[in-house]
Amino acid sequence: MSKDLIFKGSGVALVTPMLEDGSINYNKLYELIDFHIDSKTDAIIIAGTTGESSTLTDDEYISLLNNSVKHASSRIKIIAGSGSNSTAKSIFKSQQAKFAGVDALLIVTPYYNKTSQDGLVKHYFSIAESVKMPIILYNVPSRTGLNIEPETYLKLSEHPNIVATKEASGNLSKIAKTISLCTDNKNNKNNLIIYSGNDDQIVPILSLGGQGVISVAANIFPTEIHDICNLFFENKISESAKLQINLIPIIEQLFKTVNPVPIKQAMNLLNMNVGKCRLPLTSMTENNIKILKSCLDNYKINFNKF
């Protein structure tokens, strides 16, 4: 049998809303969780890259997860970003996430110090042995300088707790090879579930056998990102692709500068009031804000509840 799906469809890489003083805005967090539940989002990723995990203190991280799980109250899957470039630190964060009651973990590859492919296997196996819960790997070489190779994915998929990967390498050829290596067609067994990590590649990755996306754009287009996936699963491929293509201009703007700066700016322009990013991330230039606003206006978004 294939490994169990953690979720199927659209998982939002949720921003961490901040107050003016830079502290976490929990009331806004609860609003966002409710908003995504109402908008058909299939899972919420807390404290990932988009959630500014690298600038959260340990106490903030634990509090953010506990409050998210408590407020969600089993109405939606909650996945915690628990990656670090230190194996010991990632184990600590993963264990704290499990104590908080999250449904799964999202663990980015080590960054800055990086490692070898063998080191990746040892890193992830050490974490997987420390917490008996589903793990989603996260491959994003543009941020980490490290790529999980298809053959390494095959080794990693042998661990029962390593269920899936968020693939943001952008390399569809290697993603296809990974799926090929990790699929046993003879026994109808899929040892590694693939989620797109790039909003502009949802349909291409679904066409290779992917089961959804972990999306930045879903912060403002939750229903649309859900529908791209759901239409594809219903075999309405052309409708799914049409939605994907329609979102390409705004997706481009959301990655005009480093994430999560543009998505937070977009949410603030839409009166969602999620605050600024923490340093070292700074605001977009006035010109880029103007371009982003113009692009958003073309989609006629209106969130009356915010």
- Crossing angle of helices 261-269/286-297, nearest 10°? 60
- CA-based nearest residue to 301, from 216, 223, 214: 223
Cβ-Cβ contacts under 8 Å for 197 (sequence gap 6 or more): 138, 139, 140, 166, 167, 168, 169, 213, 214
Q: Active-site residue among 138, 153, 195, 264?
A: 138
**Is 166 annotated in the active site?**
yes
> Per the omega criterion (within 30 degrees of 0), is the bond before 260 cis?
yes
Respond yes or no: is residue 93 known to be catalytic. Answer: no
Catalytic residue among 61, 166, 195, 264: 166
Backbone angles phi, psi at 136, to 5 degrees: -105, 120
The values of phi and psi at residue 101, to 5°, are: 95, 20
- How far is the C-alpha of 230 from the C-alpha of 112, rounded, in Å? 37
Burial code (b: 16+ CB inside 10 Å, e: under 16) for 148-187 equals bebebbbbbbebebbbbbbbbbeeeebbbbbbebbbeeee
Cα–Cα nearest to 281, from 264, 261, 253: 261
State how far Cα 179 lies from the chain centre.
19
Q: What are phi and psi of 165, to 5 degrees?
A: -140, 145
> What is the helix (H) or strand (E) element at residue 45, kind and residue range?
strand 43-46
The backbone torsions φ and ψ at residue 69, rounded to the nearest 5 degrees and listed phi first, read -65, -45
Q: Reduced to 3 states, what is the DSSP secondary structure of residue 111?
A: coil
Residues assigned a catalytic role: 138, 166
